[in-house]
Structures are given as C-alpha cells and as structure tokens.
Amino acid sequence: MQTVRWGDLDAFGHLNNAAYLVLVQEARADWTWYSREPQGLPPMFADMVVARAEVDYLVPIYEGSFDVDVAMWVSRIGNSSFDMMYEITSPQGVHARSKTVQVAVSMETKKARRVSEEEKQWLAQYLEEDK
C-alpha cells in the first residue's frame, strides 16, 4: 500500500503524472530492498537502474492522503535486464498501469552486467509473462 501525498496534486487538482512513477518506485524499493531486511537478507538489485518507464493513466486520483495498492510482477527476465509491470488500484478502480525496464549495473564499471543465476531465480518467483 502506498499513500498519495497532498503535495503530489497538481494545478488541475489531480495526482501529477510524475507522481505515479514515484508510487511504483517506492513499491519497487520495498520489494527489492526493505522487504528483505527483516529476514536478514541483503537487498536484491541495489545496483540496478531504470532504463525505461511507461505509464497508462486510467482513472484520475483527486485526493491527497489517499491510499492505493500497487501490484507488481516481473514480465520478462533477460541477460542484463528485466521488465516489471505495475497496476495502481483503489476501491475507485484501476488508476494506472505502468511498465519499467531495469538494467543490472556493475558498480565498478558503471556499465550493464549480467543478471546472476541467483537473481534470475529470485525474479522467476514473480514472473507472470501473460498477465
């Protein structure tokens, strides 16, 4: 669950388009980083960058302090990248669908690196290609 902040509303009185990407970014950080901490596990993909982001805006959000659910899943696992899909919903309906492409990066070279077998196995748990 993510909360829409009042300050994310724009001059039209609805959630600003860029704020949707913040919602998916927060969900992704919870998934790769913070959800692993309580189990004593290191973050997964602390060394990734977003290479592409797309958002389809469906039902506007006109409120601050408004809770939304962000469902997310992996839709493709490549050699050095993977795709993630997101659906932002509330009782009012589906507000947006989003897709991001993440690229694993070597912190030493600052260039793309191969996704390890451990990382591929972890991602495969969340793989839903046909959804």
Residue 39 predicted with pLDDT over 80: yes
Which single residue is written with the structure tokens 């050095």? 80
In a domain, 106, yes or no: yes
Averaged pLDDT of the chain: 92
Task: Name the band, by pLDDT with cuts 50, 70 and 90, for residue 83.
Answer: very high
Residue 66 predicted with pLDDT over 90: no
Confidence (pLDDT) at 131: 60
In a domain, 80, yes or no: yes
Residue 6 predicted with pLDDT over 80: yes
In a domain, 85, yes or no: yes
CATH classification at residue 110: 3.10.129.10
What's the number of domains the chain is made of? 1
The domain in which residue 115 lies consists of: 2-124
Q: What is the pLDDT averaged over residues 103-122?
A: 94
Q: What is the DSSP string of the chain?
A: -EEE-GGGB-TTSSB-HHHHHHHHHHHHHIIIIITTGGGTPPPSSTTEEEEEEEEEE-S----SSEEEEEEEEEEEE-SSEEEEEEEEEETTEEEEEEEEEEEEB-TTT-SB-PPPHHHHHHHHTTB-TT-
**Which CA distances in Å does 64 have to 9, 14, 85?**
7, 9, 24
Q: Which tops the pLDDT comparison, 129 or 23?
A: 23
* pTM of the predicted structure, to 2 decimals: 0.89
One-letter amino acid at 43 equals: P
Task: Name the band, by pLDDT with cuts 50, 70 and 90, for residue 99.
Answer: very high
